Chain A
């Protein structure tokens, strides 16, 4: 039965239900129990965003493990546990901190299946927060999924809503490869219908959020709702947009995007990541290479600028792509004459 859950509750429920179903699922991270060792404050916190709140009460300290503030240590521990029979889900607060454990992720977890000839599996999930708009400044606001998408051997999930979040996180935990699961901070309080039952959404299957015939908009994570808003505005102007949410950047469902662009002839990609080597650049390049003949206008990219995320609120608001910027790009693509 479906009821409204926020994105935050959807993460918590996916973890809780999968921990009930599979005793090998464990959680690690900073403050994910919270207040450990302080009398009366057990489970006060549930991580910096309160995502894992309540889980230590049901599953105990052996399965919900508060770690020291050492990302390289607990991500390494999670990867090691995954290679020896557990299904760890590590929470690494902000993706911006991932740099201190790149070796564990890029050179260890991502390589085991390949270097051991397919005989090793590494079923680890690293949940992490991303995104600007939280007034958290340059070191806590980036959208770094393109970095991880670049690495063969990692799967990257960028959910845009609570329904997808629960199904994709359940899939991530059951998946035998390392999965980086990106949660946009500004989506946590957005609610939608989510079934009580467990379900999985396959990786590499885009969601066609809105069907249309004039322009294809590809958007990720928080940008999906912005693209929908832009599409509704543009519909009133007689421009019929298709909105595609790839849901995972690796694997990427390029087929759905190509099929759409072959129909519309126009592509706008919206990506909150910095513009160089991001998903917008990647998708635009692949479409240009594989569907050049179908394009009736150059692909357009709506992205954040190539600067750190500003701390000034007014500048931060300008930094993030907006529905208005998306609509402008669509109008330009529509009006383009060779």
Chain B
């Protein structure tokens, strides 16, 4: 088998994904591609995303046709040097076998687990080994599945841990005063419980403020800080969104609210809405979200702006925003080493996952 031939396969986005549908090819056969070049759009029942070329080369074969549904690990296309013979490519395609990828409850699939921290039960999902661990902290109303496009990629070369903040996802619902300090204390406790040591803290939105607060309160625990569409950098936030999200108990209302998070609201699928509803319906979830909104964003303003204290940190810090963020102004990135990504909204780590993954991976 020619080692310069590389398969492009259907990725596994999240625990439940077992197959993906090819919606559109973005480049022609024969095109030069490489990391950063999106080559094909794929959708799962949960979300759609473009897939980037994993290596530099020429897209020699578009194996999957548009509209086709393939299992996770299924062959989308083939990248190789221009010099590789067609016969070798045909043999590669003919001989390609889908590696069994554990679906939902299959053995070997990473599954979330729980740890007790200060009387709270926190849910987390750990993948990968070694390196400086990366800890992924979601935003208001989110959960660890928000990192489904990021965590597997980051875990390829380091330990990657995603967690549910108190009051969110599968974690218990006690949030105390609902302020950033309380949430940061829970995260710091989780790091100790999991024996993480020093970690690259990555936070999105409210989770960004939490990550920063952990770094400020526990400098020994932070190796680097990536603040994605982060809170804590200025007083403004779309307070109306927070209220809409809390109040939305039904599919239609929640779908409208979630649409504000994306540059392309069509990315909000029925499955995504149902998953968020499932979390919101849990006893105590609405009360927890309300307490956090009051504690962290009273009157629709950010209560805890940490710009001055960030300046005192000696670790690498970066801010990443989507240019079309409608929740927190991108101007809040000013003064920090920052990356403003076009074509993305508040959920920039979902909409432009490959680029965000590169930035996270490149910081340390």
Q: A1-B170, A205-B251 are in contact. Are A197 and B282 (CB under 8 A)?
A: yes
Residue A199 is within 8 A (CB to CB) of chain B in the complex: yes
Question: Which of B114, B252, B282 is in CB contact (< 8 Å) with A195?
Answer: B282
Q: Contact at B249–A199, with CB atoms within 8 Å?
A: no
Residue B278 is within 8 A (CB to CB) of chain A in the complex: yes
- Cβ contacts B139-171/A at 8 Å (1 or 0 each): 000000000000000000000000000000010
Residue of chain B at shortest CB distance from A171? B281
Q: Contact at A198–B270, with CB atoms within 8 Å?
A: no
Residue A201 is within 8 A (CB to CB) of chain B in the complex: yes
Residue A200 is within 8 A (CB to CB) of chain B in the complex: yes
Least CB distance, A42 to chain B, in whole angstroms: 31
- Complex interface: chain A residues within 8 A of B6 (CB): none
Q: A1-B170, A167-B281 are in contact. Are A208 and B251 (CB under 8 A)?
A: yes
- Complex interface: chain B residues within 8 A of A207 (CB): 274
- Give the complex CA separation of A35 and B105 in angstroms: 39
- Give the complex CA separation of A235 and B249 in angstroms: 31
Q: How many A-B residue pairs have CB under 8 A?
A: 34
Q: Contact at B114–A197, with CB atoms within 8 Å?
A: no
Residue B123 is within 8 A (CB to CB) of chain A in the complex: yes
Q: A1-B170, A202-B249, A202-B250 are in contact. Are A208 and B270 (CB under 8 A)?
A: yes
- Complex interface: chain B residues within 8 A of A167 (CB): 281
Residue A211 is within 8 A (CB to CB) of chain B in the complex: yes
- Give the complex CA separation of A1 and B278 in angstroms: 11
- Cβ contacts B261-285/A at 8 Å (1 or 0 each): 0000000011000100010011100
Q: Contact at A195–B278, with CB atoms within 8 Å?
A: yes
- Give the complex CA separation of A197 and B270 in angstroms: 23
- Give the complex CA separation of A256 and B281 in angstroms: 19
Q: A1-B114, A1-B123, A205-B251 are in contact. Are A199 and B270 (CB under 8 A)?
A: no
Least CB distance, A207 to chain B, in whole angstroms: 8
- Complex interface: chain B residues within 8 A of A256 (CB): 251-252
Q: Contact at B278–A205, with CB atoms within 8 Å?
A: no
Q: A199-B282, A201-B281 are in contact. Are A211 and B251 (CB under 8 A)?
A: no
Residue of chain B at shortest CB distance from A17? B283
- Complex interface: chain B residues within 8 A of A205 (CB): 249-251
Interface residues of A in 178-214 (CB under 8 A from B): 195, 197-202, 205, 207-208, 211
Least CB distance, B69 to chain A, in whole angstroms: 10
Count class of interface residues, chain B: 10 to 19
Least CB distance, A331 to chain B, in whole angstroms: 21
- Give the complex CA separation of A205 and B277 in angstroms: 12
Count class of interface residues, chain A: 10 to 19
Least CB distance, A199 to chain B, in whole angstroms: 4
Q: Contact at A199–B250, with CB atoms within 8 Å?
A: no
- Cβ contacts A125-164/B at 8 Å (1 or 0 each): 0000000000000000000000000000000000000010
Q: Contact at A199–B278, with CB atoms within 8 Å?
A: yes
Q: A205-B250, A205-B251 are in contact. Are A200 and B170 (CB under 8 A)?
A: no
Question: Which of B105, B251, B274, B283 is in CB contact (< 8 Å) with A198?
Answer: B283
- Complex interface: chain B residues within 8 A of A199 (CB): 278, 281-283
- Cβ contacts B107-121/A at 8 Å (1 or 0 each): 000001010000000
Interface residues of A in 250-279 (CB under 8 A from B): 255-256
- Complex interface: chain A residues within 8 A of B281 (CB): 167, 199-201
Residue of chain A at shortest CB distance from B269? A211
Residue of chain B at shortest CB distance from A3? B105
Residue of chain B at shortest CB distance from A206? B251
Question: Which of A163, A195, A211 is in CB contact (< 8 Å) with B270?
Answer: A211
Least CB distance, B143 to chain A, in whole angstroms: 12
- Complex interface: chain A residues within 8 A of B270 (CB): 208, 211
Residue of chain A at shortest CB distance from B112? A1
Q: Contact at A197–B251, with CB atoms within 8 Å?
A: no
Least CB distance, A283 to chain B, in whole angstroms: 18
- Complex interface: chain B residues within 8 A of A255 (CB): 252
- Complex interface: chain A residues within 8 A of B250 (CB): 202, 205
- Give the complex CA separation of A197 and B281 in angstroms: 10
Least CB distance, B162 to chain A, in whole angstroms: 16
Shortest beta-carbon contacts, A-B, top 10:
A199-B281, A198-B283, A199-B282, A197-B282, A211-B270, A205-B250, A208-B270, A1-B170, A202-B249, A200-B281
A residues near B, CB below 8 A? 1, 4, 163, 167, 195, 197-202, 205, 207-208, 211, 255-256
* Further pairs besides A1-B112, A198-B283: 17, Cβ < 8 Å: A1-B123, A1-B170, A197-B283, A198-B282, A199-B281, A199-B282, A199-B283, A202-B249, A202-B250, A205-B249, A205-B250, A205-B251, A207-B274, A208-B251, A211-B269, A211-B270, A256-B252
* A/B interface sample: 7 pairs, CB < 8 A: A1-B123, A163-B278, A167-B281, A199-B282, A200-B283, A202-B249, A208-B270
